[in-house]
Amino acid sequence: MPKQFDLLIFDWDGTLMDSAGVIVDSIQRACKDIGLAAPSARASRQIIGLGLIQALQTLLPDLPADDYPRLVERYRHHYLGRDADLPLFAGVASGIRDLHGSGFQLAVATGKSRIGLERALAASGLGPWFAATRCADQTHSKPHPAMVLELIAELDADPARTLVIGDTSHDLLMAANAGVASLGVTYGAHEAGDLHPHAPLALMDSFVEVYAWLAANA
């Protein structure tokens, strides 16, 4: 099959790195630290992928504005103590390397901060394979299309030959808003039922399946 895509834009948390569970736990612990009831795991998972402040405001819209900085500090306290030990999903390390070797341009669009992504890229060893990255504290947060559009412009890519791969509805909406195709993964933060309405080309249940799909179809 002729190659369809040149640029592959990956989400990070829940797509390449198995971090959704730790993110949820850190949100719940942070809420308890400032005297709030812990939100449910499902509610916490729904806001993964957004920039941190936007995520917490979406999750806890009635919280007084002065309390968000305290909540952010407690979240970072709990998350940063464990983020260096978070594993990549099975097949990611070799798959990303092989996709790069096959001639794809690879990029990351993430709700993480720039500092957080740099830590993750260094700890995982994946940094050398990505041509460009965008983070939520650099531009508009998902599902705004800015991350995708800026990556396309920076890498001089064709939107018609660009594919976004992500585990949340925010990723797929970002792709749709940017006018590019998407591939959804069900092993991260959001369930298949959350992803299907946003018309991904396919839904994958593991990164091994993602790699096989890309090898066969991309």
Q: Which two tokens stand for residue 156?
A: 């001089």
- The answer to whether 11 is a known catalytic residue is yes
- Amino acid (1-letter code) at residue 24: V
How far, CA to CA in Å, does 93 sit from each of 172, 184, 213? 23, 19, 16
Q: What is the rounded distance in angstroms from the CA atom of residue 46 to the CA atom of residue 190?
A: 7
- Amino acid (1-letter code) at residue 47: I
Sign for the CA dihedral angle at 70, 115, 121, 216 comes to positive
> 10 Å Cβ neighbour count for 189?
29
Q: Give the position of tokens 């400032």.
A: 34
Point out the catalytic residue in the list 6, 11, 25, 33: 11
- State whether residue 161 is helix, strand or coil: helix
Q: Which two tokens stand for residue 116?
A: 């957080």
Q: Which two tokens stand for residue 134?
A: 């965008």
CA dihedral 211, 124, 51, 18 (to 10 degrees): 60
Q: Comparing C-alpha atoms, which of 88, 90, 78 is closest to residue 18?
A: 88
Q: Comparing C-alpha atoms, which of 9, 208, 214 is closest to residue 107?
A: 9
Point out the catalytic residue in the list 6, 13, 67, 83: 13
Which residues have a catalytic role annotated? Answer: 11, 13
